[in-house]
Amino acid sequence: MSELSVNHLLGIKYLKESDIQLIFETADHFKEVINRSIKKVPSLRDITIANIFFENSTRTKLSFELAEKRLSADVLNFSASQSSVKKGETLIDTVNNILSMKVDMVVMRHPNPGAGIFLAKHVKASIINAGDGAHEHPTQALLDSYSIREKLGDVVGKNVVIVGDILHSRVALSNIFALKLQGANVKVCGPKTLMPKYIESLGVGVEMDLRRALEWCDVANMLRIQNERLDISYFPTTREYTQQFGVNKKLLDSLDKEIVIMHPGPINRGVEITSDVADSKQSIILNQVENGVAVRMAVIYLLASKIK
Ligand code: CP
């Protein structure tokens, strides 16, 4: 297959396994490009991309911008907090005004689940979801799987546990879809109050005991406690959360194998993982960030080739 089955990247849920493999093969090429002394290719000189962010971001925003620039696209950056959204302009009006400046593609982060799906139905541009509320974060899941593939050779058959706030996490949902599609075995681990009731219907196991989860897995993807999405208390105190679901070096070293530690960032150091775990040789957290640029270049390149 040489082209994606979709015209937008709204969620992993809408992708086929062959789409993921095509993205990874394309990302392999771009990873080689960005390690050259001249890190740029002229592929998208005729494409203009708007990055519109209605929520804070460090990694995703910078990674998309760098990916676009490495592909030689023209780039517009829009931050809702400094825009006419503050004067009451709607999402569709905002995006249609941006598109009337001859923009071809929109990368959007939005606090509302489904915002990208809504936009794709109402505007004429290719849409990439850069995280929509507690729904999906597809490029994060793609770069996570790409990093597992790079570290362990393959994703199929690997045991991956996702630990933490599964209920509010778009990273968890997109990772579950991506890992299952590629044939990995997936478990989730975290407080019962942060476990969605439908979780087992997604084909994942639930393990409430962190040590047992770590003994089972090849990879532990540690999620951040998202205080900004917790309207009520889901666990007694942060200290008790850390005691039950935090990974420290003593626990990591007590396992009879070397597991891979991942985290989408930003890290709450000392909450879900201690600094000596985050910075250990078992951690691939910064490799995930590095791979994010190549994976996003691949996604943008493949979607742009469908609108040319
Ligand atoms: N992983 C991630 O989405 O980080 P940012 O919120 O900094 O983009």
pLDDT tens digits, 92-103? 999 999 999 999
Q: What is the CATH number of the domain that holds 242?
A: 3.40.50.1370
Asked whether residue 235 carries a pLDDT value surpassing 70, the answer given is: yes
Q: What is the number of domains present in the chain? A: 2
Q: Are residues 143 and 114 in the same domain?
A: no
Say if 6 falls within a structural domain: no
Concatenating the DSSP letter of every residue in 23-63 gives HHHHHHHHHHHHTSSS----TTTT-EEEEEESS--SHHHHH
Ligand 1 centroid–CA 60 distance in Å is: 5
Q: Are residues 60 and 157 in the same domain?
A: no
Q: Are residues 273 and 300 in the same domain?
A: no
In a mutational test of the pocket of ligand 1, which residue from 54, 55, 59, 168 has the highest number of ligand atoms less than 8 Å from its CB? 59
Ligand 1 centroid–CA 256 distance in Å is: 32
Give residue 282's pLDDT band: very low, low, confident or very high (50, 70, 90).
Answer: very high
Phi, then psi, of 100 in degrees rounded to 5: -65, -15
Ligand 1 atom nearest residue 58's Cα: 7
For the beta carbon of residue 211, count every other beta carbon within 10 angstroms: 12
Say if 198 falls within a structural domain: yes
Report, as an integer, the average pLDDT of 143-168. 97
Print the domain residue range for 244.
138-284
Whole-structure pTM value = 0.96
Ligand 1 atom nearest residue 56's Cα: 6
What size, in residues, is the chain? Answer: 308
* Residues 64, 128: Cα–Cα separation, whole Å: 10
Q: Are residues 31 and 158 in the same domain?
A: no
Q: Are residues 237 and 255 in the same domain?
A: yes
Q: Are residues 120 and 149 in the same domain?
A: no
Asked whether residue 1 carries a pLDDT value surpassing 80, the answer given is: no
Give residue 233's pLDDT band: very low, low, confident or very high (50, 70, 90).
Answer: confident
Q: Are residues 131 and 166 in the same domain?
A: no
Taking the chain, what is the end-to-end CA distance rounded to the nearest angstrom?
Answer: 18
The residue whose CA is least distant from atom 6 of ligand 1 is 57
Q: Are residues 132 and 150 in the same domain?
A: no
Concatenating the DSSP letter of every residue in 89-142 gives --HHHHHHHHHTTT--EEEEEESSTTHHHHHHHHSSSEEEEEEETTS--HHHHH
Cβ–Cβ under 8 Å, residues 118 and 111: no
